[in-house]
Amino acid sequence: QLAGLAVIAFGLWLRFGGVMADFASDKKSPEYFFMGLYVLVGAGALMTTVGFFGCCGAARESQCLLGAFFACLLVIFAAEVTAGVFAFIGKKVAIQEAQKIYEDIYDDYVKNPREKVNSTIYRYHLALQCCGKDNMEQQMGLPCPENIEMPKASNCLVEIQNIMDAYLHLVGIVGIAIAGITVSKFMFSL
């Protein structure tokens, strides 16, 4: 149950907290990444429910409940492994999609600098602590946050890659830890 609650909390934190919350507020948000987080929260809810039934089976010493608990854990474990494999395989695609979203917003801003896009690109720059795509000449006229480091300021595409790498790496570590906990649950239920 505690592992399931931890997975729910982690998924909600990634979705609504930190840098990703700024991306989520835009209608061009990276949908595939967020769908993965919703699946993570759903798996956490399922783990919490299954954990509750496992506790009931252990308290009542019911072989039927413990067998059902084992079968549910086996399905959850298979889903975790599958999701982890797809996360590592699709990491490059997720990064490219997030970079494309930024490039589209950047191009929209260049075409219409006075429109609502101004606040959208500023939110991205503020969240990523960067400004622009390629070089310093392109930063002129962009809504850039103050107090950002100049080497970082010149390329938001690199910052998107770094942040997505870090978050997806963190998701992978949590997934491996939860899979390890699930294997230990197998042994206890047997």
- Of 32 and 61, the structure prediction assigns the larger pLDDT to 61
Taking the CA atoms of 48, 183, 58 and 3 in sequence, report the sign of the dihedral they define.
negative
- The answer to whether the beta carbons of residues 51 and 70 sit under 8 Å apart is no
How far is Cα 3 from Cα 170, in angstroms, rounded to an integer?
Answer: 16
Domain assignment of residue 136, yes or no: yes
The arithmetic mean of pLDDT across residues 173-180, rounded, is 75
Domain assignment of residue 135, yes or no: yes
Q: For residue 150, give its domain range.
A: 85-179
How far is Cα 149 from Cα 87, in angstroms, rounded to an integer?
Answer: 31
pLDDT higher than threshold 70 for residue 79: yes
Domain assignment of residue 53, yes or no: no
Domain assignment of residue 2, yes or no: no
104-131 confidence digits (pLDDT tens): 888 888 787 666 556 777 777 777 878 8
Residue 80's H or E segment, with its range, is helix 63-89
Number of domains observed in the structure of the chain: 1
Domain assignment of residue 52, yes or no: no
pLDDT band, residue 46 (cuts 50/70/90): confident
As a whole-number percent, the residues of the chain with pLDDT over 70 amount to 78
Predicted TM-score (pTM) of the model is: 0.62
Domain assignment of residue 99, yes or no: yes
Domain assignment of residue 48, yes or no: no
pLDDT higher than threshold 60 for residue 81: yes
Tokens at residue 120, please?
């959208």
Domain assignment of residue 132, yes or no: yes
